[in-house]
Amino acid sequence: MNIVELGPEVSLERNLEQSTEKERETVGAIVAKIREKGDDGLRELTELYDGARLDSFFVTPQEMEEAYRDFSDKSLKALRRAMANIRSFHEKQIRQSWITTQEDGTMLGQKITPLDRAGVYVPGGKAAYPSTIMMNVIPAQTAGVEDIVMTSPPDADGKLTPGVLVTAAELGVSRILKAGGAQAVAALAYGTETVPRVDKITGPGNIFVALAKREVFGQVDIDMIAGPSEIVVLADETTSPDLAAADLISQAEHDEMSSAVLVTTSRYVAEQTKAEVDKQLETLPKKDIAAASLCHHGAIYLADSMTQAVEAVNQLAGEHLELLVEDPHALLGRIRHAGAIFLGPYSSEPVGDYMAGPNHVLPTNGTARFSSPLSVDDFTKKSSIISYSRTALEDHAGDIAQIARLEGLEGHARAVERRGKGENG
């Protein structure tokens, strides 16, 4: 990580490598195969990419029982505590339908309706991601979605990890598809003989999953095209370099493409944090991944004032923003762009990943400028309610017809005028 003094010539834009034409063609071919061959295509592609030949696409009750036998009570207790916190937070996001009435008899309102069916993608392979399941399933359930289909790539034996299965079972998710990659996304989007078609697909994945979500968007809704994880740490002279370094590394270990950035007004903190990062990396199990991330996508920016530092933070619009400063609450109102904001030394980013309650599915790659964390709202749709009385229509008919004719839509004008004149009333 290099220390760079902020100035007009310093670009804070994060330039990620774009997908290749070959990757896009591969995803297009996979989606087309699922649409054409359904279950047969899904079976072939699962064997090709995951090495698993499946007799059944869905996890069986016996597999669920085996998962519980292989899962520790300590882990189960931690999961249940996290679930309670996450559910409590998301319950506060529930919106109610509403209707207003006016003296002329007009009724206007908004009807909130949950989606019928949601699909949740959970990355697989050697890792298990219970937190991904919780953060996607709980807001959907809280919104009132009654049917949730989860999918995750199996290992070569056609199995999913106990952590994934137990988490799903604890949340009451019973339909778990053993498939991954673009083929799983396509199956959820278009449906097969066995896999039901969903209304929305959420959850992270590799480049093929991201491209597949982009390919099927419009056929179904998606949460976002998520990029590699990011953290921005804002520090002043009171910040502990030890803690700042630990938090930077916590995101760098995700992926070689992850971004970890320190913005500080203190040269001492900048230099000591850099030294601490090098020291802490030595004993990190994922040292090579974290080191590559910090080398290619990490940075330490030195600001000449807190005003300049805050402006840099807003330009970065990071997925995770930690305010490791003397008075983080005083700066909160000045933060305009961030996916999640962590205040003070005891609010380390992993607290938000696993336990606090707010959703950890967050906008990346600067999109926090215009988008928000996954929420209950993402699993509902809103319908407007309009009920005019005769009195209200007669009062407004002339203006409505006038605007319609401004747009050259005579049929619109006449439809209102016929009622306004009392015809067919």
pLDDT in tens, 377-406: 999 999 999 999 999 999 999 999 999 999
In a domain, 171, yes or no: yes
In a domain, 332, yes or no: yes
State the pLDDT at residue 10.
84
Q: Please indicate if the annotation marks 206 as binding a ligand.
A: yes
- Catalytic residue selected from 319, 322, 349, 360: 319
Name the domain count of the chain. 3
**Whether residue 100 has pLDDT greater than 70:** yes
Q: Please indicate if the annotation marks 147 as binding a ligand.
A: no
**Together in a domain, 41 and 190:** yes
320 counts as catalytic: yes
Q: Please indicate if the annotation marks 296 as binding a ligand.
A: no
For residue 272, which amino acid is it?
A: Q
Beta-bridge mates of residue 110:
98, 384
**Together in a domain, 41 and 159:** yes
In a domain, 8, yes or no: no
- Catalytic residue selected from 90, 320, 322, 349: 320
Angle (deg, nearest 10), helices 207-216 and 181-190: 20
Could you tell me the pLDDT band of residue 425, with boundaries at 50, 70 and 90? very low
Of the two residues 233 and 20, the one the predictor is more confident about is: 233
For the stretch 280-308, pLDDT in tens is: 999 999 999 999 999 999 999 999 999 99
Mean pLDDT of all residues in the chain? 95
Phi first, then psi: what are they for 175, rounded to 5°? -100, 105
Residues in the chain: 425
Q: Please indicate if the annotation marks 297 as binding a ligand.
A: no
**Together in a domain, 145 and 184:** yes
Please give the average per-residue pLDDT across 150-179, as a whole number: 96
In a domain, 11, yes or no: no
State the pLDDT at residue 127.
65
**Whether residue 422 has pLDDT greater than 60:** no
Q: Which of 12, 11, 16, 13 is nearest to 226 (CA)?
A: 16
For the stretch 40-61, pLDDT in tens is: 999 999 999 999 999 899 999 9
Q: Please indicate if the annotation marks 183 as binding a ligand.
A: yes
Q: Please indicate if the annotation marks 346 as binding a ligand.
A: no
Q: Which of 361, 348, 316 is nearest to 335 (CA)?
A: 316
**Whether residue 424 has pLDDT greater than 60:** no
What residue numbers bound the domain in which 105 lies? Answer: 18-222
**Whether residue 150 has pLDDT greater than 70:** yes
Q: Which of 202, 222, 242 is the last residue of a domain?
A: 222
Range in 119-123, 124-128, 317-321 with the lowest mean pLDDT = 124-128
State the pLDDT at residue 420.
65
**Together in a domain, 100 and 172:** yes
CATH assignment at residue 311: 3.40.50.1980
Q: Please indicate if the annotation marks 174 as binding a ligand.
A: no
**Together in a domain, 324 and 259:** yes
pTM of the predicted model over 0.75: yes
**Together in a domain, 243 and 177:** no
**Whether residue 423 has pLDDT greater than 60:** no
**Together in a domain, 278 and 321:** yes
319 counts as catalytic: yes
State the pLDDT at residue 13.
81
**Together in a domain, 206 and 94:** yes
Which burial class, exposed, middle or buried, applies to 152 when counting CB atoms under 10 A from its CB (0-12, 13-18, 19+)? buried
Q: Which of 222, 240, 257 is the last residue of a domain?
A: 222
**Together in a domain, 61 and 206:** yes
Q: Please indicate if the annotation marks 254 as binding a ligand.
A: yes
Q: Please indicate if the annotation marks 121 as binding a ligand.
A: yes
For the stretch 329-384, pLDDT in tens is: 999 999 999 999 999 999 999 999 999 999 999 999 999 999 999 999 999 999 99
Q: Which of 308, 309, 248 is nearest to 273 (CA)?
A: 248
Q: Which of 222, 257, 283 is the last residue of a domain?
A: 222
**Together in a domain, 251 and 350:** yes
Q: Which of 327, 324, 334, 266 is nearest to 300 (CA)?
A: 266
Q: Give all strands of the β-sheet with 230-235 in edge-to-edge order.
A: 3-5, 299-302, 259-264, 230-235, 320-324, 340-343
In a domain, 177, yes or no: yes
151 close to 168: Cβ distance less than 8 angstroms:
no
Q: How far is CA 23 from CA 19, 116, 228, in A?
A: 6, 32, 17
State the pLDDT at residue 12.
86
**Together in a domain, 191 and 144:** yes
**Together in a domain, 234 and 276:** yes
In a domain, 13, yes or no: no
